[in-house]
Chains A and B, each alone.
Chain A
Amino acid sequence: MNALWALVLNGFRESRRNRVTVVVFLFAFAMIFSATFALEFTVATFARVMTDLGLGVMSLIAVFLAIFLSTALLPREIERRTIFMVASRPISRSLFVVGRYLGTLLTVLFVTLIMAALFLLQMWWEGTPLAHAHFAAIVGVLLEVVVLTAVGFLFATFASQYVAVSATVGFYFLGHLSSDLYRMANRAESAVLGGLGKAAYYLLPNLDRLDFKMRATYLDPTSWSELGLSTAYSLGYAIVVLAVACALFERRDFK
């Protein structure tokens, strides 16, 4: 087993033993509850409500997990001094960051996939037709998690956990508004404001282009090319953010 894989598995083991999987069961209960709720109060749009609610809860839990796990890990390693026994080994700090990132990502993706399986199972159980749009929406949630986990790690390399959480949550909301920012920048009368708006658009992750939940609700299909481009975009964004995180972490002192 090489060092990177050892770090990845260690991260996954950490999350598993810290009982993150409880979240999955919470989601399962939420889904069951939502189904009962939907059956009681809907007549003709049952499938839409189910899809909307299921994907929404899944996305919310995945984003919550991605942000809190990614921003907590590095500050906790430094504060508890567990990093001394790992960083003093013959591995680069970049490998450490990448290994820990992949370990966290593996945990969040695992939990998200279990939630997705529950969601699809419930759709099938209720006799709601499954479409390509549903799977595209799930892929979108996974891609969003890839980006947000990387952003969380970036902030955690130089800031405390609280600052890192706040900043990543800020990135999440701004990331969903970045297209609006671009439109506003194009309409801005001031060149400076326009420039700043465009800079923010390129700097922030465009999370709207990874959000296919609404299309799933209305069974509006997402093309393979769009899905491919979104995958390439989110992976590229995550790689760039991680590279910056590694560069910052290489320079950090562990007192």
Chain B
Amino acid sequence: MSSLWSHCINKLEGELPPQQFNTWIRPLQAIEGPSELRLLAPNRFVLDWVKQHFIGKIEAVVAGLGKQPPVSVVLEIGSRKAPVTAEQAPPSRKAVPSRRMGASSLNATFTFESFVEGKSNQLAKAASVQVSQNVGRAFNPLFIYGGVGLGKTHLMHAIGNEILMGNPSANIVYLHSERFVSDMVNALQHNSINAFKEYYRTVDALLIDDIQFFAGKERSQEEFFHTFNTLLENKHQVVLTCDRYPKEIKGLEERLKSRFGWGLPVAVEPPDLETRVAILMSKAQQAGVDLPPEVAFFVGKRIRSNIRELEGALRRVIANAEFTGREITLDFAKEALRDLIALQDRLINVENIQKTVAEYYKIRVADLLSTKRNRSVARPRQLAMALSKELTNHSLPEIGQFFGGRDHTTVLHACRRVRELKEGDSKFLEDFSNLMRILSN
């Protein structure tokens, strides 16, 4: 990596939230001239995004390094070197073997149309659409990562379905990583490993879900590594999902981790309230059920952890309404979800939030309740107050009471301050996201 660009990278990594940095800055390659820093984006999508959102910041960082003569930044589409090294001759492309491996068909209901977009997943969706329209050329591999039940699998199926719409004869294989492993073990047992290799290496697009389950399975990793290389060499699309960023997967070979990062790693975050409500309305509509907005709002407000749980709650309301023949109203939904909500309230309460925040910042709960105003205590306290407002149904005065009898205006101020810090301070945003994740699961 060029020295000027590596300086910039270090600086930008500190200033941008990790998700944005990993998605947009890391994929850029640099060619450094005496008065020019040429940045190569893998495709038009990244180019446009960087131009719109980050070019000013990059230029400021470059200018800050004080080079003489001044260095200008140029952004274009391109690649310094082919990303895949030819470690083996690609096998000749033959017809797909008649024996179907464990490949499962795509779920036709998981489409881009049925995917509810919000702030938390719009990048991942945009990248997925790109991939389905430029198979093997936009981002390869596309690596979608994030917590459980946030829509990764939906996006993956949507990519497959969209590719098939454009080319009904495309050979798309979706499978769970665990299935890849068991197919391989099967093939080894039945001396059919060559057919296995041939099968997976000749698909047009390979979609593998939850690749964190490759961890610790060395033989499968080895096989997947070669399959992966072959597909990329031949410009066939690979899409992977995982519960975390490639570098953070334990028990996975370094060369695989680094290769997974070659294309575009893009995160899905837990949906915000508006998105949760939109998801509920959309799911209810798909089920042919008339869901009053206030009910969707109530369920969305109470079930915050992930989309699967949200759908589970909606399923419960609909099933109960069908069984009793009653109309779905706010009171009815409260009754149908009484057990679930009581459980959530037991799991997430102000005391629990205070304890979690104190542990996270390595301070004492007593500090949060004290009158201390130094920043190392005040920040966590503000964060804990804002989380209490977000995750419980207590009023501002009640939350003030929980924090050593503070006034409701103090809590209000804390919520506003936290909102500002989330916008401007990437480290703070990361802390906030981590705590949300810990508390919601």
Are A and B part of the same complex? no
- B residues whose Cβ falls under 8 Å from a Cβ of A: none
- A residues whose Cβ falls under 8 Å from a Cβ of B: none
